[in-house]
Amino acid sequence: MFNISLKNSEFAIIKKLVFNEIGITLNDSKKDMVQTRLFKRLNYYQIKDFSHYLKIVQLSKFEKSQFLNQISTNETYFFRETAHFEFLEQLAKNSKSLRVWSAAASFGAEAYSISMVLDSNLFNWEVVGTDINTHVLDIARLGLYQVALLEKIPKKYQEKYCLVGRNQYEGKMLVDRKLQFQTNFLENNLMSKNNELGKFDVIFLRNVLIYFTEETKIKVIKNILHNLKKGGYLIVGMTDYFHHEEFNALEYVKDSIYKKV
């Protein structure tokens, strides 16, 4: 089974499919990684070549989703880029209610970090976390993480919102039920319009723009801005560069935070 290699022609089809579906550009250095990750799916179907597998992907909605799950990069952690959470805390202290979207939420660490800040400072709040990857969303909904991830969570939130497991849950940490109740995770593709999600006061779109071409970044941000209230904030990752001059509606605040004017 492990002698099967991904042909250049097959990799070209994969690159086109991934770009069309989720806007991610795979460069040639990713070929080995893609081959290794997709082996699992070939094993699952007990098939011996990638061309056969790609036919299944084209025919089955389920397999297309599994395929995209293997491709996406999901690195994340709690309270990543602390300046953004300090900004959110100040905003929450000065607001009556906030609705926040963690777009490209991955395993949910970002969405729950937002929830901890909001719940500590506000009565009325809601967080929506979305991603294209159904596997990471399942984990986010469970809210059960390796206890080592606690390290990045400020002590005041650890004590209030993180339940450290014992016995069969040794080594695990469970996010407080109340936070889970007010944090909803939904499947969503940033390449499409997101009308069904409604309007938000703050949108976190962090550490995902780096995977897109300039053209795709503009498309994604245009889609997202429809969901941002006037006066609301768009927060991108500290290393996510985009041409914000393209968007008249966006005014730079600080630390990769933009206001919709």
Residues classed as catalytic = 37, 131
Residue with tokens 């080995």: 32
Nearer to ligand SAM, 49 or 214 (CB): 214
* Position 108 contacts ligand SAM (CB under 6 A): no
Task: Calculate the CA 150 to chain-centre distance.
Answer: 19
Task: Single out the residue of 137, 134, 135, 93 nearest to residue 111, CA to CA.
Answer: 137
The neighbouring-strand residues paired with 97 are 124
> Binder to ligand SAM among 237, 242, 256, 258 (CB under 6 A)?
237
> Which residues 36-75 are close enough to bind ligand SAM by CB under 6 A?
72-75
Q: Shortest Cβ distance from residue 13 to ligand SAM (Å)?
A: 19
> Binder to ligand SAM among 10, 63, 119, 131 (CB under 6 A)?
131
Token digits of residue 239: 């290393």
Nearer to ligand SAM, 120 or 189 (CB): 189
* CB contact set of 189 (below 8 Å; sequence gap of 6+): 21, 22, 132
Question: For residue 146, which phi and psi values (nearest 5 degrees)?
Answer: -65, 140
> Binder to ligand SAM among 15, 30, 80, 217 (CB under 6 A)?
80
Token digits of residue 201: 């006061």
Residue ranges that bind ligand SAM, judged by CB under 6 A: 22-24, 72-76, 80, 104, 106, 110, 131-133, 136, 189-191, 206-208, 237
